[in-house]
Structure formats: structure tokens, C-alpha cells
Amino acid sequence: MKEVKFSLVFRDMWQSAGKYQPRVDQLVRVAPAIIRMGCFDRVETNGGGFEQVNLLYGENPNKSVREWTKPFREAGIQTHMLDRALNGLRMSPVPKDVRKLFYKVKKAQGTDITRIFCGLNDTRNVIPSIQYAKDAGMIAQASLCITHSPIHTVEYYVNLAKTFIEAGADEICLKDMAGIGRPVSLGKIVAGIKAYKKDIVIQYHSHAGPGFNMASILEVAKAGCDYIDTGMSPLSWGTGHADIIAVQEMLKDAGFKVKEINMEAYMEARSLIQEMYDDFLGYYIPALNHINNSLLVKPGLPGGMMGSLMTDLEDNLKSLNKWKSKNNQPELTTDQLLVKLFDEVAYVWPKVGYPCLVTPFSQYVKNLALMNVIQMEKGKERWSMIADNIWDMILGKSGKLPGPVALELVNMARAEGREFETNDPQTYYPDKLDEFRAEMKENGWEFGEDDEELFELAMHPEQYRAYKSGKAKADFEKDLAERKAKRNAPSAVAEMPRQIKVSVNGQAYEVNIAYGNETSVEATAPVVGTEVPTGEGADFLAPLEGKFYLVKDNSETPKKIGDKVAEGDILCYIEAMKTFNAIRADRSGIIKAIIPASGDSVEEDDVIMKILNS
């Protein structure tokens, strides 16, 4: 009787539901109950979005990881994390020296296993991470990103697994991030890998949304899979994962050896998760994410992205409907926009070469599709706004696309003077640690135990700077207060707080809060917006909403007042839906005013600069 073991994907449970992760005090409270459940040999503790969202609400992720992994290590339960290969823990590629430091830091913090994946399944991106992880003493689990297309066949995946095993991978993961892998095919993939190397450990990860994953779990288990990723109530099913109770009972009935569940501990863990939900995390979890939806079969969008997508879609819809109202057009509902988006993803995906729809490529394809929908709703052309990092994917700077790029995009690239690349993607992203060390020293920042603070700055520069300045926490507190107010009856608004005082690293912040149709006021102290000046220069408007930045990384020199610009020059960036959109000058002139501060939120048609025509 074969034993099948279970992993609780606690980090992914939250990311697949909404936008944020629990605080460290919440994590250490729930850990003992998860351990006492007795059914888990592994727990996914961190990685991927975990690091960035902690910074967004002002909590140090290094402290969180150390304290969160500790009780599991002491109990003999392995911890694993999600790792985006060339992209490390973020959306964009990472320099080699930062990638190497990444594994040393995470091993020192107590993470045992790294699940390495590349949405392009480009071995050039994954294989270096296998070696870096092993050099740091971690277990290197190489992932097959699962999708369903004419290119992604059983033979394709079995051969990919063989390549990873030959390169030194300790384990293989079938990462069925959208849950659209077909059950029988998945079973054949596992059987093919086991036929090649019988003792290789295989772990299956799947999302519940489209409706295949319980059948898929049974098929991969029959074929010899060793570990199954599961979720638990109240964050199972929907855009999340199959519930541990259902999976355990199904496999037990099928004749597999599985561990029993301590239901008293299960109910305690469930109650603690609900407390986290009610505390603040639930304000970032849309109701639709609790529901399974077979419409997801067509676009193949991953569960891990659907959590943030539904939250972000509210803002996109609000902005689009604002434009429609201004132009006397009927507004769209959430469902109408969602269906248009799903249809456009299905249209766009083959044209950009069938990248597996997983971070960051799921966001790139979704963002491209959503931008197309928004632009076409406004009477503009499809492909009229493509962010630079999406171009990088199309051009091959992120790795080799599985399929060919559509001729219309090839022609557009050539017309804009863009070149397709075939080099190893890492060559485009040179070492940077020395620059970040210099910044740490200049600011008087501590490097942290095992250089973990240096790593955090190098991996997430903008978020880390906002965290250190206190802006991240102040912005989060303001946003949370506004979301809480919306859940209250209009009559209760008068009783809601008008101002929050926040202390971050000894710096005091006062955050003013507006409700309903009141005018919103930004946080004070260092978090101050600039009044729009009158007079000299023509208004230069934001073409979309998002966060305003003058540069996207340290390699660029920010524009300043008095600079001369030519038509087509990059003036700034607006980060929307996790991508940096280059905003270019529509005329030549001299910059007379820069309105938002770096990191400020802007809405479409906000004045962001004033330019005097030359």
C-alpha cells in the first residue's frame, strides 16, 4: 500500500484568496494547531508574493520567515517556499549575485525546500537556481509549469523533467497553477517521470477553480506521486486548493496509506484562520474567489493570481466607468468586464507564444489583455499600450517562449526598433549587490542577520524603501480604514475615525481618511503629495491609474524640473497590475513641474507633470 503525504500550502491559500498575508503574530499563533493536526509532512511557509506584501503593509518579512518556520522545524515538518527562478521572489528578473544570496538567506532563515519554476519552462532560468539552492544546502524542487495547449504535451513535460533531474534537481513538482491540467494527462506525466527515475520525489500542486483538481489528484496518486498540496477551510476550494479533509478521505478510500487528521486541532486552526480573515485580511478577499468557476478553463488564469486580480479589477472597473460616464457611455458591471477579460486572454495567449500562465507571465498576459479591453472600450486600437516588461517577454529577454510570436506583434516590434533576443536571459541583468551595499551604508541601515536586510533591498528595492520610510505602512493603514468604512452603513461613517496616527521606526505619521464622496487627503509627515501648481507649462496627464515612479530601477536617472525632453522620451513610470508602464512625452519641451511624489497613487487623467512647449 503506497503512502501519499500532504503539504499545507498556507502561503498560497492566502495569496489565492486575496492580496495580503497574515502578520507574524498571527502566523506563530496558528503554527502549533497546524502541527497538532498531525496530517502534514510539509508546510509552505513563504516565497513568491509573501515577501512583497509584508513590506506593503509595513512588516519585516525576514522576521516573519524566521519566526514562522521555527516551530515546524522543531516538530520535524519540512518547510517549502515558492521561487520564480530568474525572477527570484519578484515580478522582474534578478541579478545573479542577488539570486545566489537569496538561497543562503532563506536557508539560514529556516526554509528547507525551494520550489523553482519558470513560466516559460526555460531550463536556462531554472537550472542555475537548482545549483544555487543546493550550494546553500536547500532541497531543490524543480517545477513543471502545467498548462493545456498544442505545445504542452505529455512528452514535452516528461522530457523537461528528465532535463531537470539530469541537472541535479532533488525533486520534481507538477505545478498546475491554474488547475487546468487534464487528469489523465497528468497521470501519464507522473508515470513517465517515475519510469525514468523511480525514486525521484514528485509533489503535485493544483488549484480548485476550474473543477479538475480532485480527479487530477487521484490520477497522479495512482501514477506514483509522493506529496499532494492541499488547503483547508475557510480558504479551500474556489480560487484556492482542494480541502485536506476531502483529499485525505478520497485517497484513503482508494487504498492509499495516509495520515489521520486530528479534528480538534483542525477546528482550532480553522478558527484562527477565520480570526485573521475577520481582522483585516478579509477586506482584500473578493467574494467571487470563494466560488469554483469553470470559465477559468478557457483563459487558464492561475489561482494564485486570481486573488489579487479580483481586488485590482475593482479599481480598473471604477476607472473605466469613470471615463464612460464622462463620455456618456453605459457603464460595465464586474461580470461584463470579467468575461471580456477572459475572452481577450484566450485571444492574446497564442499570439504571445503560449507562455505558461503563472507569475510573472500570467500577469503580463492578463495585463496586456486587460489593457486591450480598456483601450478598445475607449475606441482605441488593440495593442496600443504594452508595458516594457511585457515587451521583454515577447522579445525573449525573459527566456525562450514555447511558441512563435504572432506576425502582427513581430511587425510592431520592428517598427518601434525593438530586437528579438536569443541570449541567456541572465546576461541582460548584471550584478547589483555592490550598489545596494553602498545604499545601505549611505542610509545607515543595518545589513541584518545573514545579510537578510541587504537581500530584501536588493530583491524588492521600491517596496523596501517605502517600508523603511514608513510610507508603506501609512498607505496601508489609510487604505484599510477606507475599506472598513465601505463595509459600514452610511450612517456609521460619521462615527468612523477621521485620522490615524502611525509610528514606524520612531517616525510619527498622521493619516487623514475620507469616506464616500469626500475628498481624500494623503498621509502627512514624509508622505506628502504636492499641490498642483498653476501657471507655466501644459498639463501632462496620467494615461492610466497606478503608482507613480520616476524610475523603475537604479540604472536610470530620474527626470527633474528644468530637464529638456523630446517627443517619445520616457518621463516616468506608472506601476499598474504589478507591471511598470513607461510613460513617454507626447511633445518636446521643458519640465516645469513634477506633481506626484515617487510611490504616490495616481488616477487616470491626473496631472503628473507640467511641460512647457519648446
DSSP 346-365: HHHHHHBT---SSTTHHHHH
Q: What's at 467, amino acid-wise?
A: Y
Give tens-digit pLDDT for 123-163. Answer: 999 999 999 999 999 999 999 999 999 999 999 999 999 99
Weakest mean pLDDT among 2-6, 128-132, 479-483, 524-528: 524-528
pLDDT-based confidence at 533, cuts 50/70/90?
low
pLDDT-based confidence at 522, cuts 50/70/90?
very low
Q: What is the mean pLDDT of residues 420-442?
A: 95
CB-side exposure of 177: number of CA atoms within 13 Å?
Answer: 30
Q: What is the pLDDT of residue 261?
A: 98
Q: What is the mean pLDDT of residues 568-587?
A: 85
Q: Which residue has the higher pLDDT, 555 or 507?
A: 555
Query: Would you list the DSSP string of 514-545?
Result: --TTSPP----TT----PPP-SSSEEEE-SS-
Q: What is the mean pLDDT of residues 51-77?
A: 92
Q: What is the pLDDT of residue 520?
A: 42
Distance in angstroms (rounded) separating the CA atoms of residues 296 and 148 = 12
pLDDT-based confidence at 488, cuts 50/70/90?
confident
Give tens-digit pLDDT for 373-407. Answer: 988 998 889 998 888 889 999 999 999 999 999 99
By the 8 A CB rule, do 308 and 21 touch? no
By the 8 A CB rule, do 148 and 180 touch? yes
Q: What is the pLDDT of residue 491?
A: 46
Distance in angstroms (rounded) separating the CA atoms of residues 47 and 428 = 24
Q: Which residue has the higher pLDDT, 315 or 547?
A: 547
Q: Which residue has the higher pLDDT, 520 or 565?
A: 565
All cell numbers assigned to 468 = 523603511
By the 8 A CB rule, do 32 and 71 touch? yes
Alpha-carbon distances, residue 394 vs 153, 343, 407, 487 (angstroms): 22, 20, 12, 42
Q: What is the pLDDT of residue 534?
A: 57
Domains of the chain: 1-83+252-285 (no CATH), 294-428 (1.10.472), 471-526 (no CATH), 538-613 (2.40.50.100)
Q: What is the pLDDT of residue 311?
A: 66
Distance in angstroms (rounded) separating the CA atoms of residues 129 and 549 = 30
pTM of the model: 0.80
Weakest mean pLDDT among 8-12, 131-135, 473-477: 473-477
Q: What is the pLDDT of residue 79?
A: 98
Alpha-carbon distances, residue 516 vs 294, 480, 546 (angstroms): 35, 14, 20
Q: Which residue has the higher pLDDT, 492 or 257?
A: 257
Weakest mean pLDDT among 56-60, 467-471, 533-537: 533-537
Q: What is the pLDDT of residue 257?
A: 98
What are residue 511's DSSP bridge partners? 500
Secondary structure tally for the chain: helices H, strands E: 20, 18
Q: What is the mean pLDDT of residues 9-23?
A: 91
H or E element: which one contains 508?
A: strand 507-512
* pLDDT exceeds cutoff 90 at 287: no
* pLDDT exceeds cutoff 70 at 262: yes
